[in-house]
Structure 1
Amino acid sequence: MGQEPDSAEQLRVIDEAPALTRAAAPGERALTVLSAVALFAVLTVASVNRVPLVLGCVVLVASLALVLRWRWFHLRAPGRRPHTKVEEAVFLFAPVTLAIPGLKVLWDNPADMTAALVAAAVPAVVLAVYLVLRWRR
């Protein structure tokens, strides 16, 4: 069998290991805020106005793509720590909450401004919470 490495070699290997606890880059933080604001704004506008069914579908598919893209980014980026159970639970609700404003968008039933703001805020806040939890890398 092989020889056990000495303590100096073990320390060198530990020092070369990737750091999984470093903070998110400022660009990632800015994109997080931009993504949450864009999701909120698009869903609010689509909920308040009468949009055609095709445009409503495009809005919801684009919103889902945004949410899933962040998830894929965190799963595939090198040097990322694994997801915690809390992050998994929060992310589970992110795509599901898109149904709240989606009902108004798809069924051509425009909501009043307060209802549209609340309905659009739910998925935007859930996405923001997930992304802020991931800032810790």
Structure 2
Amino acid sequence: MHRMDPLTPIEETMAVLKALIVEGKIKYVGLSECTPDELRRAHAVHPITAIEMEWSLQSRDLEAAVVPVARELGVGIVAYSPLCRGFLTSIDTFDKLAADDWRRTLPRFADGKLEESKTKVARFFDIAAAKG
């Protein structure tokens, strides 16, 4: 399930997905961008196979709460944007983002934050170079 419907309890959605599994129409259920509570509640209805979360050197918030719950429940984690939405591919490309590039709407690309983010990335590259 790509996004949680805030108007529908996760248990209700999971009951429908579980019925689809019983009918043989789908094999597994995964969640994207879930909270630890949503993961627990969904898993209580039917085992969740994997969750998809943004996880990178710059986005590590999930490590404190989501990762422990996923490990406890035996749920796999699929990382998306492991290259920090492009930050780890090439530092100087960010000055060349098109005016309509969707990444410009992200806080880390906003005025003031872009230079801070570029400084962090430069440090990542320095550490990597030192490690060989």
TM-score by length of 1: 0.24
- Greater relative CO, 1 or 2 (CA 8 Å, sep 6+): 1
Q: Which has the higher helix share?
A: 1
Q: Which has the higher strand share?
A: 2
Of the two, which has the highest radius of gyration? Answer: 1
